[in-house]
Amino acid sequence: MISIAVCEDDYIELEQICAYIKEYIKRHPDKDISLDCFHTGMELLEEIEKGRKFNICLLDILMPGMDGMELGRAIRQEDGLAVIIYLTSSPDFALESYRIRAMDYMLKPCSEEELAVRLDEACQRFEADNMCRFLLHVPDGLQAIPLSRIVCVEYYGHRLYLHLTDCTTVKSVLYRKPFSDIAAPFSVGMGFIQISASHIVNMRHIQKVGRNTFTLSDGELLTITRKYSEAKKKYMDYILERRRES
């Protein structure tokens, strides 16, 4: 299921946007989409903090209390993969929206056709993320894990430890191959980067860049070792490429 959240403080605009999305849902019954509408940023954030997960978030920016930028940053701390689309009457926040890794920035009023195009792109991104999986050898067989759910790959004692977005860890069987062979699917092209002899991180889940560290979406602080000092540059190249694609 693809879950969509809309947050807009103007009741009339909220009703209109949600009406557009409901029509989109009717035209795409194969996508299995759910919709939740919120009048304030705090209402949406409270649902997320309760454990609700929204794959696509359409956010107004100029809202009283928690504005859309603050809300977007809070969503990013909880979910590095959520597709964020800003809907606003002001063009002044476009640059800041990219820092939050928003997929798009649409000026209001938007048409139903314009919104449908953005929803197509957002759904395609979500579906592509979930199709890419890593086959991990676990004690009772093989486990297919979506790459999008993997925050970090850790290797020690000849085992892989996959740290996931739900704060769980999946442990592999003993491997006798070199780490470089086992971890080949975790490439820069797939959104991953190696930062030490035993750690590979998902760049979509990097929340903060330090002098020689990355802070991940689960709060883990990992050191970039000297051998992998190019990791910061590769990460910045990745962010710039994603902006161009948007």
Q: DSSP for 118-166?
A: HHHHHHHHHHHHHH-EEEEEETTEEEEEEGGGEEEEEEETTEEEEEETT
**For the chain, how many residues are written?**
246
Residue 91's pLDDT is 73
CATH homologous superfamily of 132-245:
LytTr DNA-binding domain (2.40.50.1020)
**pTM (2 decimals)?**
0.62
Residue 245's pLDDT is 63
Residue 93's pLDDT is 67
pLDDT digit string, tens, across residues 99-116: 777 888 888 889 999 999
CATH homologous superfamily of 2-130:
Response regulator (3.40.50.2300)
Residue 94: band (very low, low, confident or very high) from pLDDT cuts 50, 70, 90: low
Residue 6's pLDDT is 97
Sequence ranges of the chain with CATH classification 3.40.50.2300: 2-130
Residue 84: band (very low, low, confident or very high) from pLDDT cuts 50, 70, 90: very high
DSSP-assigned letter for residue 246? -
Higher pLDDT pick, 76 / 155: 155
Higher pLDDT pick, 231 / 140: 231
In the predicted model, is pLDDT for residue 243 greater than 80? no
213-216 and 221-223: which strand pairing? antiparallel
DSSP-assigned letter for residue 219? S
Please state whether 32 falls in left (phi above 0), alpha (psi between -120 and 50) or beta. left
Sequence ranges of the chain with CATH classification 2.40.50.1020: 132-245
Residue 158: band (very low, low, confident or very high) from pLDDT cuts 50, 70, 90: very high
Residue 95's pLDDT is 66
Residue 97's pLDDT is 66
Report how far residue 136's alpha carbon sits from residue 37's, in angstroms, rounded to the nearest whole number: 38
